[in-house]
Amino acid sequence: MATDGPQFSPQELMVCQAARQLRDGEVVFVGIGLPNLACNLARRLYAPKLVLIYESGAVGADPQRLPISIGDPSLVTNSLGVFSMFDVFSFYLQGGLIDVGFLQGVQIDRFGNLNTTVIGDYQQPKVRLPGSGGACEIAILAKRVFVIAPQSKRSFPERVDFITSPGFIDGPDSRRRLGMPGGGPVMVITNLGCYEFSDGEMLLTSLHPGCTVEQVRENTGWDIRISPQLTTTELPTSEELRIIRGSHGLHGF
Amino acid sequence: MATDGPQFSPQELMVCQAARQLRDGEVVFVGIGLPNLACNLARRLYAPKLVLIYESGAVGADPQRLPISIGDPSLVTNSLGVFSMFDVFSFYLQGGLIDVGFLQGVQIDRFGNLNTTVIGDYQQPKVRLPGSGGACEIAILAKRVFVIAPQSKRSFPERVDFITSPGFIDGPDSRRRLGMPGGGPVMVITNLGCYEFSDGEMLLTSLHPGCTVEQVRENTGWDIRISPQLTTTELPTSEELRIIRGSHGLHGF
Amino acid sequence: MDEAVRRFVRDGDVIVIEGFTHLICFAAAHEIIRQRRRDLTVCRLTPDLIYDQLIGAGCVRKLVFSWAGNPGAGPLYALRRAVEQGIPNSIELEEYSHYGMVARLTAGAAKLPFYPLRNYMGSDLPRVNPLIKTIACPFTGEELAAVPALNPDTAIIHAQRADENGNAQIWGLIGVQKEAAFASRNTIVVAEEIVSESVIRSDPNRTLIPGMIVSAVVHEPFGCHPSFAQGFYDRDNDFYVRWREISQNEELFNRYLEEWVYGLRDRGEYVQRMGAQIDRLKARANYCEPVNYGY
Amino acid sequence: MDEAVRRFVRDGDVIVIEGFTHLICFAAAHEIIRQRRRDLTVCRLTPDLIYDQLIGAGCVRKLVFSWAGNPGAGPLYALRRAVEQGIPNSIELEEYSHYGMVARLTAGAAKLPFYPLRNYMGSDLPRVNPLIKTIACPFTGEELAAVPALNPDTAIIHAQRADENGNAQIWGLIGVQKEAAFASRNTIVVAEEIVSESVIRSDPNRTLIPGMIVSAVVHEPFGCHPSFAQGFYDRDNDFYVRWREISQNEELFNRYLEEWVYGLRDRGEYVQRMGAQIDRLKARANYCEPVNYGY
């Protein structure tokens, strides 16, 4: 992206933005890819006592290389603990210990519902996607959920084809009514901007430098609400970029 | 006991009798004391592949001294595996892997129900006993249950004061009707004789050498049924006695 | 220990000090007695000597348990005096089997409101404990037993080694410690050795309790005596046998508390007082084959 | 392996080959393909390349799963061809989330007919899978989700080391292997190393699967490639990326099977064919601190 400061990619901006949301001492249920980079960045700069948990069972991992899969051996070596998946899902996640869950979605709708199951009809899918993995329970049980996703009209429909991982379902009261323990999505970070939730609905709160509200509207499948306090997303600092580009690199994202 | 062969104590006879019931390769949920000695004897003479499981979590123990408690450290060192109590009760016992469970009881009645909870009324007990421990679930879930108990009119009442660990409850059909997975008690070994179960009721099947049917009747709280094929309990062999009295001894029993 | 107990064990609390025969933290119980905590609800599969002492010292209002004996050595007489005669105070009993207690703590750790199990049919336990209910399977229609979650205020868990953040490693019998710790609002980890984080990280599969659920870490060598710590010291079976006599007699019981609890400042003084007896219990070396965590 | 698969994987069986990223036994899957098993119901949290291969080879009638992707490298195209186009045959899908699959195997291992969990409210998964039901807590009245037990005919579990009786030790990620083995009627243990019983007994807390539930033990070094075995060899991430291209093209897929499965007699020949590539993946030393089991 072209700005006055250092050059950076949209992915780098998204990683920085995600990293800044994490608070010291929090326990994060983390996936691979951008969330992993965001957590590592946060640990280096903002939240040294952040604890990372991977659904594969590694707790307090300290990977010496960029993990390519959620079960990479580098997540085990010198981690603080390795637990069975029964323990991870029962005691950590359902047990209420997870402060932040990171999710991705092929589709996300205005209520923050995520689809990673099918495009089209479930029985006759246009595209068969991987399915839930741990996403459904993370969406239901984590205290706060962050979503990192590329944005387009197709990936931001008014209503997802299939709710794999519920956000606010169809309005502000749905989660409470259904007895969902977790707080639901609090932020969606795309290549265009950041969204928070108000009355259970997505609200554009900051635009990335160089992006416009028009771009956002063109790439959203519904009439997106814009915050009256709309800001510009803070730029990555050189220190952030140095760390992201450091030992681990950002190859392949 | 006075016989023509080697001298032995009632306890030694009971241990030998219990040991002979175990089949090679079986998995035994074992307590301390006489059952532990019986299993060790069986492993040496009759069932070398017997696997011992203690409710404390030790599987395939090979203790180098007589364990005084069910959680003795000698049951862990050089065992084949140590499991959590969740695993022991869920996967081994409820999972249907336990062939034989050994139980003891302060009271046992004609249907093989065991009481280790209270003498007298539960709320106003004459004597407060230890309670179930794992006995209730062993009685319900093990494929076969053996009981080793000293016999007297008080310990063999027609009806136990409290069913801690169900036998056949009140008749041959009760276990099936209640959906109990295990087969229930198959043998009770006392200082006077051995009892099996027929139509869910205890039946004297062998008298220990020197004991009489009259003695049995005097020490039983109901009109005990006597097998038409009543035999005399086989004597301990010198080899059995040598092993029982060997490295581990029988101190304190 | 002084501070950990002061902060996390309050009058009226529900506490669990777990460890099945192994790693029973007597040091914590003695500190609770010294601080004269009252009206505790104490939960444990096997109350053992440790709760016999708490009960006899008048700390306990209610006992939640599954087997109340002196393993291999008879009854717990202080417990019996409380139940049968109300000395020093009457206590309430809530009674399960072992599997029921394991299930309650597992539900508590998983924040499930109940746990299902195939158990209790034909037993009188559900008759005297209304918290043992039944539930029908939505698939097969079978009726199963159900017990409610147990979520104590504080768990006290003794570990062989832990780092300063409370990441705790236990080997040998592990009982129901993990479930008890995850089920509780606070966990106090007491350790034979405080090790550097790198020791913990060298063998992550051994970690039973993660630091994130630990409220306080206490270094207390020999903190389990007369219970044992595999690889550190043996169970003091002689003491368990002697306890029969001590607990049977109220005066002997009180004298024991005076000499070994009230009369001492902390576990350090206890160990000092034990003197050479400790050497008799020290573990011999029997090390495991190491494994490779490299890639 | 030949004999173990012949005896314990039959046409129409329900099988589970577990291992979450770690210790996925490709050697067993290749043998199943070689023996041209048909109509299998295959269960796994993550079908991964291993079930993509089984599906593309026509062994599978039904897939029970929770996440069907090529981790870090895109979709599983053979699976998608079967689902979207019925090539080589259409397959039935039964779909959960990870926690649902973990719960199903846990129930299976514990011989509970169902397992309760706080999950699925608001999700469309129960709408398309009628086996996700609800159950009311008998204590609080809350409505929870319930999934049925999963009890496969055969589990195949790869371990770093096992003795000849199948007592198997695993370190690093342990996933849901214990539950899968206890849930299944038969378990095949495949091991990188067959060790003497004394090695197992030197560290009993490492034993994940006891020999008593094991039907067959197979020694198969490098049996997980392209998956990994902590302490033995790394994951072949390049192969996972290459698989995207292979599986996308039916012809390349079939050629892969010809060259690497049908064209080879066993895993030994596979390793031989890999040649020097294997050295690239071999693990470096990173040994744990040993612990003392003495008393």
User: What confidence tens digit (pLDDT) does each residue in C72-112 have?
Assistant: 788 999 999 999 899 999 999 999 999 999 999 999 999 99
Q: Let me know how long chain D is.
A: 295
Q: Could you give the count of Cα atoms lying within 13 Å of C218 in the half-sphere of its Cβ?
A: 29
- Helices C267-274 and C26-34 meet at what angle, rounded to 10? 120
Residues in chain D with CB shorter than 8 Å from the CB of B143 are none
- The interface pTM score, or ipTM, of the predicted complex is 0.96
Answer for the pair C117, C144: CB distance below 8 angstroms, yes or no.
Answer: yes
Mean pLDDT of chain A: 92
Please state, in angstroms and as integers, the Cα–Cα distance from residue D252 to each residue in C151, D47, D56, D257, following that order: 56, 20, 11, 9
B73–C80 CB contact, under 8 Å: no
CA distance linking residue D28 with residue D196, whole number of Å: 23
- Catalytic (active site) residue B12: no
Q: What is the 3-state secondary structure (H, E, C) of chain A?
A: CCCCCCCCCHHHHHHHHHHHCCCCCCEEECCCCHHHHHHHHHHHHCCCCCEEECCCCEECCCCCCCCCCCCCHHHCCCCCEECCHHHHHHHHHCCCCCCEEEECCCEECCCCCEECCEEECCCCEEEECCCCCCHHHHHHHCCEEEEECCCCCCCCCCCCCCCCECCCCCCCCHHHHCCCCCCCEEEEECCCEEEEEECCEEEEEEECCCCCHHHHHHCCCCCCEEEEEEEECCCCCHHHHHHHCCCCCCCCC
Confidence of residue B253 (pLDDT cuts 50, 70, 90): very low
Share of chain B above pLDDT 70, in %: 95
Digit-coded pLDDT (tens) for C123-157: 999 999 999 999 999 999 999 999 999 999 999 99
- pLDDT at position B4 is 62
C72–B68 CB contact, under 8 Å: yes
Answer for the pair D13, D54: CB distance below 8 angstroms, yes or no.
Answer: no
- pLDDT at position A251 is 41
Amino acid identity of D273? Answer: R
- Per-residue pLDDT, averaged over A23-39, amounts to 89
If one counts every other C-beta atom within 10 angstroms of the C-beta of residue A226, the result is: 15
CA distance linking residue A244 with residue C142, whole number of Å: 55
Q: Is it the case that residue B1 has pLDDT exceeding 70?
A: no
Q: Residue for token digits 């076969």? A: B144
Digit-coded pLDDT (tens) for D178-222: 999 999 999 999 999 999 999 999 999 999 999 999 999 999 999
C234–D292 CB contact, under 8 Å: no
Question: Which range has the worst mean pLDDT, B21-25, B59-63, C135-139?
Answer: B59-63
Burial class from Cβ neighbours inside 10 Å (0-12, 13-18, 19+) for residue C62 reads middle
Please state, in angstroms and as integers, the Cα–Cα distance from residue D59 to each residue in B168, D10, D33, D175, following that order: 48, 11, 7, 25
Q: Is it the case that residue B10 has pLDDT exceeding 80?
A: yes
A12, A55, A137, A201: which one is catalytic? A55
Q: Residue for token digits 């089920």? A: C183
C174–B89 CB contact, under 8 Å: no
Answer for the pair A178, D122: CB distance below 8 angstroms, yes or no.
Answer: yes
Q: Are strands B58-59 and C207-209 parallel, antiparallel or unpaired?
A: unpaired
CA distance linking residue B182 with residue B192, whole number of Å: 27
Answer for the pair D123, A115: CB distance below 8 angstroms, yes or no.
Answer: no
Q: Is it the case that residue A37 has pLDDT exceeding 90?
A: no
Digit-coded pLDDT (tens) for B67-123: 888 889 999 999 999 999 999 999 999 999 999 999 988 999 999 999 999 999 999
Residues in chain B with CB shorter than 8 Å from the CB of D110 are 90-91, 94-95
CB-closest option in B74, B79, B97 to D204 = B79
Confidence of residue A131 (pLDDT cuts 50, 70, 90): very high
Answer for the pair C293, D172: CB distance below 8 angstroms, yes or no.
Answer: yes
**In b/e form, how buried is each residue of B126-160, taking b as 16+ CB within 10 angstroms?**
eebbbbbbbbbbbbbbbbbbbbbbebeeebbbeeb
3-state secondary structure of B104: coil
- Per-residue pLDDT, averaged over A123-137, amounts to 93
CA distance linking residue B171 with residue C63, whole number of Å: 34
Q: Is the CB of A215 inside 8 Å of chain D's CB atoms? A: no
Q: How far apart are the first and last CA of chain B?
A: 16
Q: Is it the case that residue D140 has pLDDT exceeding 60?
A: yes
Cα D185 to chain center, whole Å? Answer: 16
Residues in chain D with CB shorter than 8 Å from the CB of C202 are 287-289
- pLDDT at position A252 is 36
CA distance linking residue A59 with residue C181, whole number of Å: 16
- Per-residue pLDDT, averaged over A126-130, amounts to 91
- pLDDT at position D1 is 95
Residues in chain C with CB shorter than 8 Å from the CB of A69 are none
Answer for the pair D103, C112: CB distance below 8 angstroms, yes or no.
Answer: no
A85–D45 CB contact, under 8 Å: yes
Q: Is the CB of A162 inside 8 Å of chain D's CB atoms? A: yes
Nearest chain C Cα distance for residue A177, angstroms: 18
D293–B74 CB contact, under 8 Å: no
Digit-coded pLDDT (tens) for A171-221: 999 999 999 999 999 999 999 999 999 999 999 999 999 999 999 999 999
- Per-residue pLDDT, averaged over D62-83, amounts to 93
**In b/e form, how buried is each residue of D124-145, taking b as 16+ CB within 10 angstroms?**
bbbebbebbbebbbbbeeeebb
- Per-residue pLDDT, averaged over B158-176, amounts to 96
Q: What is the pTM of this model?
A: 0.96
CA distance linking residue C176 with residue A91, whole number of Å: 13
DSSP structural state of residue D285? P
Residues in chain D with CB shorter than 8 Å from the CB of B97 are 212-213
3-state secondary structure of C217: strand
- pLDDT at position C183 is 98
B26, B55, B137, B240: which one is catalytic? B55
Q: Is it the case that residue A31 has pLDDT exceeding 80?
A: no
In a mutagenesis test of the B interface, which of C20, C117, C182 is the best target, namely the one with the most B β-carbons within 10 Å? C20
Q: Is it the case that residue B205 has pLDDT exceeding 50?
A: yes
- pLDDT at position D185 is 98
Answer for the pair D120, D98: CB distance below 8 angstroms, yes or no.
Answer: no
Nearest chain C Cα distance for residue A90, angstroms: 5
Q: Which residue has the higher pLDDT, C24 or B68?
A: C24
Mean pLDDT of chain C: 97
- pLDDT at position A65 is 83
Burial class from Cβ neighbours inside 10 Å (0-12, 13-18, 19+) for residue C250 reads middle
3-state secondary structure of D94: strand
Q: Is it the case that residue B249 has pLDDT exceeding 80?
A: no
- Per-residue pLDDT, averaged over B148-174, amounts to 96
Confidence of residue A249 (pLDDT cuts 50, 70, 90): very low
For A:172-201, CB contacts with C below 8 A are 181
Both structure tokens of B239: 């080899």
Please state, in angstroms and as integers, the Cα–Cα distance from residue A70 to each residue in A75, C10, D74, following that order: 8, 42, 14
- Per-residue pLDDT, averaged over C30-56, amounts to 98
Q: Are strands B144-148 and B100-103 parallel, antiparallel or unpaired?
A: parallel
Digit-coded pLDDT (tens) for C235-276: 999 999 999 999 999 999 999 999 999 999 999 999 999 999
Q: Residue for token digits 């590539």? A: D277
Digit-coded pLDDT (tens) for C148-192: 999 999 999 999 999 999 999 999 999 999 999 999 999 999 999
DSSP structural state of residue B169? T
Q: Is it the case that residue D88 has pLDDT exceeding 80?
A: yes
